[in-house]
Copies of this chain bind each other. A is one copy, B any other.
Amino acid sequence: MVFSQPQQDEGEAPAGPSRAVAPSGLSVTLAADRPMPLDCGAAIGPFVMAYTTRGTLNAARSNAILICHALTGDQFVDGVHPITGKPGWWSLLVGPGRPIDTDRFFVICANVLGGCMGTTGPADIDPATGCAYGLDFPVITISDMVRAQALLLDHLGIDSLFAVLGGSMGAMQALQWAVDYPERVFCAVPIAGAARHSAQNIALHEVGRRAIMADPRWHDGRYAEHGDRPLDGLAVARMAAHITYLSEPALHRKFGRNLQDRQRLGFSFDADFQVESYLRHQGSAFVDRFDANAYLYITRAMDYFDLAATRDGDLPAVFRGADGAGTPVRFCLISFSGDWLFPTRESRAIVHALNMAAANVSFVEIDSDKGHDAFLLEEPAFFAVLAGFLDGQAEHRGIAGP
């Protein structure tokens, strides 16, 4: 299977976010000369990758940081998001003088392969049919996402990243980068991640997928041809997932059993409680910016993630590499104590494997009761750890200070 370049007719008004168009930022056509192989056995190319950059690449081309986004993230790490009008998802972390200091580093963030914010994904038009790919798009993996990002770096003329980092699915990509391209990564910071997706997390994703696929407006994935979108199913999927990103203490602190715009129980199925109203809002806001099929594909990529699968589960062997010499990549693992979706034990298992592979690794568990979402929130201890690690490594690599 070979995919041609999706038509990027910017003059045509996009029919909502289900039409993959980079709303702003940069985009490039990759794999134009020869299709990029995928783990499923197919190949894809040419394909479009949408991305943003911040800061300036230095003369030595040694100060590039690749930020990898999570399931529902995108390339808009900072500034104002072009669709939601809200601050980018890591605005707290990325910018001049911030932990990921754009006065010192050249920051790249790309929408993942299979995404819906400009990079080629299932919502794009299949030139062979003139219709959106839908489920004809190949099932992609974290490794495929990383392979596509490597082509982007080739395009940008960056041989070696100073750092690759990300939270959640972003951590999976950071780990995969360190394993697949150890010579191209100086240091890696997987945050709130895991070496493989757990049975519980696969189960949680499956609920979201069933909610989408049960929506008749999903039309077996061909909703674009029907001028339709499975908004209800996608909203339910988002609501279910959103709970898993938080924590019981955080929900209790934020909402408790407070009632929404009323003094007493309504004895109805309206949103009596603030937490219900909040959750409904999360669901309905999400469908404005995300494509249902992309949600299927990206959750599937996470489910398939198992870093040690190619080594029969031997994670230390993965980090030792083919020659057994051990990885040159310097790692900093970060987890959050209140994260039950990607709990600390998952990061610790990676640290143990890295230790067994005699790798250079730091590990910090941040004390937080904000759940998995802590990696997106104001967590000064997390910011300090990240800034400290990057500064130290940058000095080590001889990257000039800001």
Contacts and interface: CB of A to CB of B under 8 A. Distances in A.
Interface of A: 39-41, 135, 138-139, 196-200, 202-204, 206-207, 209-211, 213-216, 232-233, 235-236, 239-240, 243, 246, 248, 251-252, 254-257, 265, 267-269, 271-273, 275-276, 279-280, 283, 296, 300, 303-304, 306, 340, 343
8 contacts: A198-B251, A199-B252, A199-B273, A203-B251, A204-B243, A210-B283, A214-B236, A216-B216
A267 B200 contact: no
A269 B265 CA distance: 41
A248 B139 contact: no
Given A198-B251, A198-B252, A269 B232 contact: no
A273 B300 CA distance: 11
Nearest to A293: B269
Q: Is the interface of A mostly helix, strand, loop or mixed?
A: helix
B276 A206 contact: yes
B254 A199 contact: yes
Contact of A257 (B199, B204, B343): B199
A139 B268 contact: yes
Most chain B CB atoms below 10 A, which of A197, A202, A207, A256 = A207
Contacts of A273: 199, 202, 303
Contacts of A251: 198-200, 203
Contact of A200 (B213, B233, B252): B252
Contacts of A276: 202-203, 206
Contacts of A199: 248, 251-252, 254-257, 273, 275
A86 to B, nearest CB: 22
A373 B202 CA distance: 19
A40 B268 CA distance: 9
B239 A275 contact: no
A206 B139 contact: no
B206 A275 contact: yes
Given A243-B200, A273-B199, A304-B265, A232 B254 contact: no
Nearest to A304: B265
Most chain B CB atoms below 10 A, which of A211, A235, A256, A340 = A211
Nearest to A233: B214
Nearest to A241: B207
A207 B240 contact: yes
Contact of A210 (B210, B214, B235, B254): B235
A252 to B, nearest CB: 5
Given A257-B199, A273-B303, A232 B206 contact: no
A129 to B, nearest CB: 19
